[in-house]
Amino acid sequence: MSVVKEPEFERMLTVADVCKFLSVFDETVYSWIRGTDIPAARVGKRRLFDKAEFDQWIKAGRTAGK
């Protein structure tokens, strides 16, 4: 008997997750959303971040002003 696995989805991060990870305030994250290429998606009134894309953004050193 084989087990059928459902596709794995990357974890989505919230603004609160990003704030905690980077030790910044939510105002900073929203400022980055408006002014940089931070990979955020709008879902209703919320902003969500694909973990893999966010990790790449961090590794590339992309921050406000760059």
Q: Does 40 map to a domain?
A: yes
Q: Are 38 and 57 in contact (CB under 8 A)?
A: yes
Q: Does 35 map to a domain?
A: yes
Q: Does 3 map to a domain?
A: no
* Domain total in the chain: 1
Q: Residue 24 maps to which CATH number?
A: 1.10.10
Note if the pTM is more than 0.85: no
1-60 pLDDT, tens digit per residue, is 556 555 555 688 999 999 999 999 999 999 999 988 888 999 899 999 999 999 998 888
Q: Does 6 map to a domain?
A: no
Q: What is the C-alpha separation between 51 and 19, in angstroms, rounded? A: 14
> In which domain, by residue range, is 27 found?
12-59
